[in-house]
Chains A and B, each alone.
Chain A
Amino acid sequence: MLEFTDVHVRYGHVEALRGVSLRVERGEIVALLGNNGAGKSTTLCAASALVPLSKGTISFDGEPLPDKPWDVVRGGLVHVPEGRRVFSTLTVLENLQLGGFACQDKASVSRRIDGVFDLLPLLAKRRGQQGGTLSGGEQQLVAIGRALVAGPRVLMLDEPSMGLAPLMVAAVMDVVRRINAEGTTVLLVEQNARAALGITHRGYVLENGVVTLSGPASVLAEDPRVVEAYLGS
């Protein structure tokens, strides 16, 4: 459904992605693992057209991706950027409404917001509260909920576990699993390999801008190289 073929991205002279090829099939959760600076976030930014490709192609549903970020969102590929980026002075509800900005149909936006409140009852309780007053984990849920309001067919999450307490990491991963169970395809970028491999079907390991390992999550979790580098024995 989402396919990267030999994708290169450069920031000036630095080549952040050096020929990434990977694919995400309909209905899957796919993990993209790797250390700091491996190119995980750049991979997502390339797909959401926030950074230009210097070589290679990304196709979505068999079509080449549009080259403007707003057209990508409209097409149903939605990116939750790293660091949550919740508007701290807007309420939870207003943050969610932003997610529906690209959608002209008000009725379906409010239907999706209700759907988010069903999925994340905690947010329904906090709907009138300002984003900045929420805990980190709650803000992450707002960021995910906001992306869901955009009506994604593929959701790309950039390190949703970052800076969260272990219990909250588990809760966020559970939410991602439920979102997937309701039919949304997910591409999950994580440093927390253990948490990510617990819910994903397949995974890719990115090192220095290239994919070095890939396979079913259960196989990756056993692979000695992954265990050594990311999981610890």
Chain B
Amino acid sequence: MGRWVGPAGLLVAVAIPFVDASPYTLNVLTTAAIFVMLAAGLNIVVGYCGLLDLGYVAFMAVGAYTSGILSTAFELPLLYTIPAVLVVAVLAALVIGAPTLRLRSDYLAIVTLGFGEIIRITATNLDFTGGPTGIFGIPGIDVGGPAGFYFVCVAVVALAVLGSARLERSRLGRAWMFIREDEDAAEAMGVNTYRVKLLAYVFGAIWGASAGVLFAAHLSAVSPQSFVFLQSALVLMAVVLGGMGSARGVVVGAVVISVVPEVLRDLGAFRYVFFGVVLVVVMVLRPQGLWPVRRREPERVDAPVQEGVRV
């Protein structure tokens, strides 16, 4: 059954606009698709490699701003900005990753949180990023209106999810798993942990920045308010909710996180209360996520016990 799930999900995603193509529905669907891409990218960093990144939205901001600035300043079609976006994303991953990846666990989380804020505040204060108001009039990707753009998003996102699933099974993906489960043992067995972790960051940045391009095209504007910490937290929530390290799981998690608040819209101001309750219930009932991977190393609670008598 497993191998049909992906194509079936894709089919559903493609079919919905034929049932309901109202601007509202298309907007929700497009936002969800972009969110799935973000979750797939963060899953590489957090799920595969076990690096807790609390500022992931910084990479999305880098992608959105790069394509927005280039396309408005030089009146380029958005697609032409993609090579530059990829270069800037990789550079951003190296700049952020090179110093931070020497740290582990909590320290890494705090520093990435800081970098997320730095990117947002820098964008708020620079002139060429449009300051607090951001950048307007970004050309969309014009392929037959909002429905057409949605299909483009679905295609890109499907490739991204498939790509991340392939990465997991690659030699690099195995190295990520070794580092996630036991970094010291991986290092002792000859895994170049620093380079391998940096590559997780680079792939995460490429996914995030590409999602940023779609985001800029979707809204035709980018502003710093879109890249607040809450956004990073929501993407992380999608990854954890779906099942860390599970390419399928995070797709489900991202869809839930982006669609459930819309479904609950009738509840008005209370909807986020219910949303919170739903999340808590899910995590209590399925602590490994909605659709976990088969194998996940249980937390190492006990250090090997030293025995007293040894002569």
Q: Which of A's residues lie within 8 Å of B, judged by CB?
A: 36, 48, 50, 68-70, 73-74, 78-85, 87-90, 98-99, 101-102, 132, 146-147, 150, 162-163, 191-194, 230-232
Contact = CB atoms under 8 A, between A and B. Distances in A.
A99 B189 contact: yes
Nearest to A131: B297
Given A87-B182, A192-B310, A231-B311, A101 B188 contact: no
A87 B305 contact: no
Contacts of A85: 182, 184-185, 188
Contacts of B295: 89-90
Interface stretch (B7-15, B144-152, B173-181, B212-220): B173-181
B303 interface: yes
A163 B304 CA distance: 8
Interface string B175-207: 100100110111111111100000000000000
B292 to A, nearest CB: 12
Nearest to A84: B304
18 contacts: A69-B187, A70-B187, A74-B190, A78-B190, A85-B185, A88-B297, A89-B181, A89-B297, A98-B174, A98-B178, A101-B171, A101-B175, A101-B190, A102-B189, A102-B191, A147-B189, A162-B304, A232-B311
Contacts of B297: 87-89
B296 interface: yes
A233 B311 CA distance: 11
Given A89-B296, A162-B304, A81 B188 contact: yes
Contacts of B304: 82-84, 162-163
Nearest to A161: B310
B188 A79 contact: yes
B196 to A, nearest CB: 9
Given A69-B187, A79-B188, A81-B188, 14 more contacts: A48-B188, A50-B188, A69-B188, A69-B190, A78-B190, A84-B304, A87-B178, A87-B185, A89-B295, A101-B190, A146-B189, A150-B190, A163-B304, A230-B311
Contacts of B193: 70
B83 interface: no
A32 to B, nearest CB: 15
B99 interface: no
Contacts of B192: 68, 70
B2 interface: no
A191 B188 contact: no
A89 B181 CA distance: 10
Nearest to A44: B188
B307 interface: yes
Nearest to B304: A83
A147 B188 CA distance: 9
B20 to A, nearest CB: 43
A73 B190 contact: yes
Given A36-B306, A230-B311, A50 B181 contact: no
A50 B296 CA distance: 26
A191 B175 contact: no
B298 interface: yes
Nearest to A36: B306
Interface string B279-305: 000000000000000011110000111
A50 B191 contact: no
Contacts of B303: 83
Contacts of A90: 295
Contacts of B185: 81, 85, 87
Contacts of A232: 311
A69 B171 CA distance: 19
Contacts of B182: 85, 87
B174 A101 contact: yes
Contacts of A87: 178, 181-182, 185, 297
A87 to B, nearest CB: 5
Contacts of A82: 304
Contacts of B181: 87, 89
B184 A81 contact: yes
A126 to B, nearest CB: 17
A101 B311 contact: no
B189 A73 contact: yes
A98 B171 CA distance: 10
Contacts of B189: 73, 78, 98-99, 101-102, 146-147, 150
Nearest to B293: A89
Contacts of A69: 187-188, 190
A163 B184 contact: no
